[in-house]
Amino acid sequence: MTAFDYDVLYIGSGHGTFDGAIPLAAKGKKVAVVEQDLIGGTCPNRGCNAKIVLDSPVALKRHLEEVHGIVTGDVAINWAANQEHKHEVIAGLPDFIQGLLDSSNVDILFGRGTLVDNHTIKVNGEEKTAENIVISTGLQSNRLDIPGSDLAHDSEEFMNLSEMPARVTVIGAGYIAMEFATMASAAGSEVTVITHGDQALRAYHQPYVELIISELESKGVKFVRGVEVEAIVGGANGLVVRGADLSVDTDWVLDATGRNPNVADLGLEEVGVKYNEKGIEVDDHLRTSVSNIYASGDVIDKTQPKLTPTAIFESTYLMHTFAGETTDAIDYPVIPSVVFTSPRVAKAGITVSEAQANPDKYTVVENDLSGDWYRQVDKETVGKNTLIFDQDHKLVGATEVSNKAEDVINALLPAIEFKFGATELERMVYLFPSIASQAWGQL
């Protein structure tokens, strides 16, 4: 039998890797991780963690605006201080994660990894072999293929802005576009959002998305919908974003037109790993078209949301597979998702449109949260939720738009995932008063 350098070798060190690689090595497997950039990947360094620090004063500002009169005085976000705070919170994360990898005896190979054959990866000119390889290379920001695209910036550059520009134009309609438009507007920028189609956040309940857009518009954000951006040009007074019948003067452009899988120049074609524009193709064991090469995290072509919890679930599943603890196919749980706008929109399970298309299977209950006494504590002005039940009156889906939508959906998750009936629900005792206690309040 050939002796390999490692049992498992991962390319990429994000959540698609480290949540599984650390316990796998702790179980005695010989594990290595190849990383060309910061340890921990996108989420801790230039995604979730960075963003939520920057969003914290944005959410607080909204709260203070709602209780204005009870709390008095002007509120403004000092973006430079916010940026400094973000740095304090996240700067230590790569070392922290590296410490976890080191202490479990995971080897870290710094450099760009490429496949040489189905058992070999080349890093910095050196070849390392492994019985199994996991490709977990994530996504990178799309760049519009238009004249002047180099004048636009991506989400990472936005999160590193030391000063918020006076005028920001956001191109895109996904969660990054909507969240960053919210932040820029709250930080005092004049914001224009240009969307290619007519809808934003297409995966979410559209009446709730429209509520978010109205809130943003009431704060002065301009939405220009159904426009194809054709060029970005330098002007006498900053930049101009151009399309048919469109000309927006601006200082800074965020290209939030999507994220593409990191599959280029990895040696996938040479080794026979199949992929398409949505990512690497895998079977229900996360195995690629080459039987000992797996994929994990955002780089996979999948229907589940490309988010951190999905990547963690996949890397943990692979850990159990490589440890010989399961041969089962991956069985995804209900994966919730949220957009950190002001207010937020969050969802889990069966969607409203799916339920409405199958009235024989589902009952849809909509609640206007303005009647809920607990929401009035914070003088919350916008809030609705929709609960979806199956024929046995078990909760199978929920979506909410409110300042605390993520907490409400988290509170409902166990019931959706484990299909709680009346007996289990009676045993769900929440702290009172708290937002979780109100998640079921409407029933």
- Distance (Å) of CA 346 to CA 70, 162, 398: 29, 30, 8
Q: Is 3 annotated as a binding residue?
A: no
Question: Closer CB to ligand FAD, residue 142 or residue 381?
Answer: 142
- Whether the bond between 433 and the residue before it is cis, its omega within 30 degrees of 0, is yes
97 labelled ligand-binding:
no
Q: Look up residue 3 and give its two tokens.
A: 């002796």
Task: Between 42 and 132, name the residue whose CB sits nearer to ligand FAD.
Answer: 42
Q: Are 149 and 24 in contact (CB under 8 A)?
A: no
User: With respect to ligand FAD, which residue has the nearer C-beta, 208 or 362?
Assistant: 208
Question: Does residue 92 have a known ligand-binding role?
Answer: no
| Residue 288 or 438 having the CB closest to ligand FAD | 288
From the CB of 315, what's the least distance to ligand FAD, in Å? 8
Is 173 one of the annotated binding-site residues? Answer: yes
- 298 marked ligand binding residue: yes
Q: CB 417 → ligand FAD: shortest distance, Å?
A: 17
The distance of closest approach from Cβ of residue 55 to ligand FAD in the complex, given in angstroms and rounded to an integer, is 9
**Shortest gap between Cβ of 20 and ligand FAD (angstroms)?**
10
Distance CA 169, CA 159 (A): 15
Rounded to whole angstroms, the Cα distance separating 147 from 230 reads 7
Say if residue 179 carries a ligand binding annotation: yes
Looking at beta carbons only, is 121 or 239 nearer to ligand FAD? 121
Neighbouring residues of 215: CB distance < 8 A, sequence distance ≥ 6: 341, 342, 343, 382
Dihedral sign from CA coordinates of 18, 20, 23, 24: negative
Residue 108 CB, shortest distance to ligand FAD, in Å, is 11
φ, ψ of residue 78 to 5 degrees: the values are -90, 100
Of 113 and 383, CB closest to ligand FAD = 113
Q: Tell me whether residue 355 is annotated as binding.
A: no
Interacting residue ranges for ligand FAD, rule: CB under 6 A: 11-17, 34-37, 41-43, 47-48, 51, 112-113, 136-138, 155, 176, 262, 266, 297-299, 306-309, 311
Closest residue to ligand FAD, judged by C-beta, is 297
Q: Whole-number minimum distance, CB 176 to ligand FAD, in Å? A: 5
CB 263, CB 244: distance < 8 Å: no
Decide whether 130 or 227 has the Cβ nearer to ligand FAD: 130
Please state, in angstroms and rounded to a whole number, the distance separating the CA atoms of residues 304 and 316.
16
Q: Which is nearer to ligand FAD, 338 or 382 (CB)?
A: 338
Is 272 known as a binding-site position? Answer: no
Q: What gap in Å lies between CA 81 and CA 389, rounded to an integer?
A: 46
Q: Decide if 165 contacts 266 (C-beta within 8 A).
A: no
How far apart are CB 136 and ligand FAD at their closest, in Å?
Answer: 5
How far apart are the C-alpha atoms of 326 and 109, rounded to whole Å?
28
Q: What minimum distance in Å lies between the beta carbon of 56 and ligand FAD?
A: 13
177 labelled as ligand-binding?
yes
Q: Which is nearer to ligand FAD, 242 or 306 (CB)?
A: 306
Q: Extract the annotated binding site for NAD(+).
A: 172-179, 258
